[in-house]
Amino acid sequence: MTIENIKTTLYKLEKLMHGFNYEVCLGIEIFEGCSDIDNFKICLKKTYPGIDLGVSPIAISIVDFWEEINFGLTYRGDKRLAVELVVKNQEAFESLEKEYKNFLTSQIKPNVKIYSYPDHTAIPGYPVWWDYRFIIQSENSYIFIYGSASD
């Protein structure tokens, strides 16, 4: 799957997850040829100029990574907001969710490192109900993924 394909998948997921008083923002960027995490942050700043280079990513476990991804994808709100997937949209959602998770799984090979990026400043979306920002570091590639839901 190409980066363009996964971005299209995320866009479609955003639209299906839109609900009353509920909006989702999902995104991904791939940075090739970064020699280390500091070099990655410089590359990230070129894409998101408002980020703070002083923010340090936090190493996390694969379990924590998947818990956050799954929480965002399964969150359906409460009395103040709602995401309602009608049956026909539920099937489309499940298919797109599977594409997203399969892509992420394909990027998580042995020896990768996963980090949480603790600052949402200058990253698209606005965290109200849930949010995540992760870095998947492989040998010379960094994948930055983010997601959030707001009202």
Tens digit of each residue's pLDDT (9 = 90 or more) over 81-134: 656 655 567 889 899 999 999 999 999 988 899 999 999 999 999 888 899 999
pTM > 0.85: yes or no:
yes
Name the nearest CA neighbour of 44 among 31, 35, 60.
Answer: 31
Contacts of 31 (CB under 8 A, 6+ apart): 40, 43, 44, 141, 142, 143, 144
Rounded CA-CA distance 4/10 in Å is: 10
Question: Is the pLDDT confidence value at 48 over 80?
Answer: yes
Bridge partners (DSSP) of residue 144 are 29, 135
Rounded CA-CA distance 126/131 in Å is: 8
**Three-class DSSP category at 91:** helix
Question: Is the pLDDT confidence value at 31 over 90?
Answer: yes
- Domains and their CATH numbers in the chain: 3-150 (3.40.1460)
Neighbours of 26 (CB within 10 A): 24
